[in-house]
Amino acid sequence: MPARTVLQQPDITRALTRISHEILEANRGPEGLVILGIPTRGVVLADRIGRLVSEFSGRPVPIGSIDVTMYRDDLASNPTRVPSPTRIPAGGIDGRTVVLVDDVLFSGRTIRAALDALSDQGRPRAVRLATLVDRGHRELPIRPDFVGKNLPSALSERINVRLMETDGAEAVSIEDLSIERGAE
C-alpha cells in the first residue's frame, strides 16, 4: 500500500505560520528568543519559523541548530549516525527562551537528547518545543508547546516528512510498514 499524503505544501506553510504566531504570542514578542532546529528537517523548519517570526515581529530572531547525535541513548544499536554541526547564535542561549524545532515528535527520546545537548551549550531561561507533527506514542514525559498537526498513528506506521530544501518535494505522508512486512 503506498504512503497516504496527509499534509501538502500549503498545509505545511499554514502550520508553520500558525506556529510562528503562537511562539510570538507565548513569548510576548521576539525579545530573548532563540530558535534551534534539530537536524535534519528540524533545521529547515527552524529556519522557516525563524524567518516568519522575524517577519511578523519586524525584528531579527537568532536561528541555529543543535546536534543530538552523541547524546542519543540508541548509539549502541545505531552507531552509523553522522553528527551535524551545532550552530549556536552569537548571543548564546544563557537567559534566553530557546524554541527547539523538530519535524516529528514520537517517543520523545530525540528531544531528551536535545535537552542534554542544550545543557552543554548554556543555561536558557526556558525551553519550548515546536514540532510539525506529533504522532503520539511517547516513552518519556515530553510534550510539544507548538504543534503543526496531531497525527495519531499506529506503531506499525511511519510518518514521512519531505521538505523542498532536503528532499525536493513538500509533503507529510503516513506509510504502513506492517503491510510491507506481511508481504515477506
CATH code: domain of residue 99? 3.40.50.2020
The single residue listed with the C-alpha cell 552543554 is 120
* Cα 79-81-83 angle, rounded to 5 deg: 130
- Asked if residue 165 belongs to a domain, the reply is no
Does some domain include residue 64?
A: yes
- Within a domain: 172: no
* Number of alpha carbons in the 13 Å side-chain half-sphere of residue 100: 29
| Domains identified in the chain, total number | 1
For helices 9-27 and 41-57, give the axis angle rounded to 10 degrees.
60
Domain that holds residue 115: 8-71+84-156
180 located within any domain: no
Q: What is the pLDDT of residue 83?
A: 83
> Is 125 within the bounds of a domain?
yes
Among all chains, which residue has been given the C-alpha cell 515546536?
130
Three-state DSSP class for residue 79? coil
Q: Does residue 170 lie in a domain region?
A: no
State the pLDDT at residue 180: 55
Residue 45 φ then ψ, to 5°: -65, -40
> Look-up: residue for cell 509533503?
171
How long, in residues, is the chain? Answer: 184
Answer positive or negative: Cα dihedral of 67, 82, 144, 165: positive
Query: 96 in a domain, yes or no?
Result: yes
Residue 151 lies in a domain: yes
Nearest one of 102, 12, 30 to 65, comparing CA atoms: 102
Q: What is the pLDDT along the chain (184 residues), one digit of tens a residue?
A: 678 999 999 999 999 999 999 999 999 999 999 999 999 999 999 999 999 999 999 999 999 999 999 898 876 676 666 788 899 999 999 999 999 999 999 999 999 999 999 999 999 999 999 999 999 999 999 999 999 999 999 999 999 999 999 999 999 999 998 875 544 4
Query: Is 13 in a helix, a strand, or coil?
Result: helix
Amino acid at 176: D
Task: Name the nearest CA neighbour of 37 among 106, 111, 124.
Answer: 111
